[in-house]
Structure 1
Amino acid sequence: MSTELGCKMATPFLVIVLFGCVWSAAGQAELMKLDDGYKAGALLAVDQVNAHPGVQQHFLFFRSIKKSEVDAGFGAKYLSHHFHLKATRCSKATAAADSSKCAFRNDRPVIDCMTCYKTYNDVIQEKPKPYIHCIHKPALTKDMIKVRTEYCEKMSYSTGSATLLGVRRNN
């Protein structure tokens, strides 16, 4: 009788664990669908959040909200990416070995991130310095959203770029 009861109780637990793993895998599948330039920025933000001393759980990419790019020509682009990170059931210490086995938690708010940076052939450039702003979603204000947007727009339009009309050919 106790074995039968144990099996009945284990089944819902197993379903919950498997469901959590599917959600984690789905988030990472979304990350892998991103172009290399966007993926690099998302991973930069994940590393920054997970390196923060106040963060106890490991965070992973969850989903993209909005992406935009300005083609500066000759392989250079300015990328802007708004996305969410989600806490997993793994601690930072255990996730260092293999974060692919970390299931998402549904009892914590997502972290809302905005990144903007310049890439050259999908590699993030050091100048201008990449902008990364991540904050728990409930703490995100309209003023923060405005500052993010203005900063990213300024970065992509103020630096200027070469155009084909501006290139002179020497004979």
Structure 2
Amino acid sequence: MASLLLWLFSIGALFFSSNAQDTYDKLSEPYKKGVDLVLENLNSRTGMVHHFLFFKSVQQSDIEHGFDVSFIYHHFYCKATNCPKGTADTTRCQFRNDRPLIDCAICYKTFRGDIEQEPKPYIHCVHKPAYTADMKQTRVDHCNLMTYSSGAATLLASTGNS
């Protein structure tokens, strides 16, 4: 009986850990590249102790400018895991529920699916309890300026996936 319970617990833990990145796996490739850039930036910060992973999307929008150029805006949450910072294999990392979410936004230009270096991608992350309406407006304004400089419509006025 004890071995059956241990087996069931092991299967449950495996199932739970495989679900940790299901939402990331469902993102389209251009959005994954943006999330990867944010996570690389977030996990390289000196003040961070835990490894962070993508948790869920809040808002997604993109404008196809033509000639394989797109402007992408992605607002999402990252969550701390039980893995230490710098963990290479994150398949066994579990989300922690005792840490606040990290509220992140990124906007960037892609050409043929790859993130362009110019204009420089805009990344803004803050612990969710500290996120304010002024920060939201700053994000929106900065991302809209990126698209205006190329003569496109406003990025956040587009209808994207939610």
Question: TM class, shorter-chain normalised?
Answer: 0.7 to 0.9
Residues in 2 aligned to 1:65 and 1:54: alpha-carbon distance in whole angstroms: 25
The structure with the greater share of residues assigned to helix is 1
Q: Is the 8 A contact 2:20 2:94 kept in 1?
A: no
Question: In the alignment, what sits opposite 1:53?
Answer: 46
Residues in 2 aligned to 1:26 and 1:40: alpha-carbon distance in whole angstroms: 20
Q: Is the 8 A contact 1:27 1:63 kept in 2?
A: no
The count of residues paired between Structure 1 and Structure 2 equals 147
1:91 aligns with 2:84: yes
1:106-125 paired onto structure 2 within 5 Å: 106-125=97-116
Q: Is the 8 A contact 2:106 2:123 kept in 1?
A: yes
Residues in 1 aligned to 2:63 and 2:37: alpha-carbon distance in whole angstroms: 20
Deviation at 1:81, TM superposition (A): 0.1
Larger mean CA deviation between 25-34 and 118-127 belongs to 25-34
Q: CA RMSD in A?
A: 2.0
Q: Which runs of no fewer than 5 residues in structure 2 stay unpaired? A: 153-162
The share of aligned pairs that are identical, in percent, is 44
TM value normalised by structure 2: 0.83
Q: Please give the per-residue CA displacement for 1:9-56, whole angstroms capped at 9, x wherever unaligned.
A: x97xx58x828x61x533412112111111100010011110001000
Residues in 1 aligned to 2:57 and 2:112: alpha-carbon distance in whole angstroms: 21
Deviation at 1:103, TM superposition (A): 0.5
TM value normalised by structure 1: 0.79
Secondary structure of 1:138 counterpart: helix
1:77-156 paired onto structure 2 within 5 Å: 77-93=70-86, 95-96=87-88, 98-156=89-147
Structure 1 residue runs of 4 or more that deviate by more than 3 Å after TM superposition: none
Q: Which has the larger radius of gyration?
A: 1
The residue type equivalent to 1:26 in the other structure is N
After superposition, the Cα gap between the structure-2 partners of 1:135 and 1:25, relative to the gap in structure 1 and judged at 3 Å, is farther
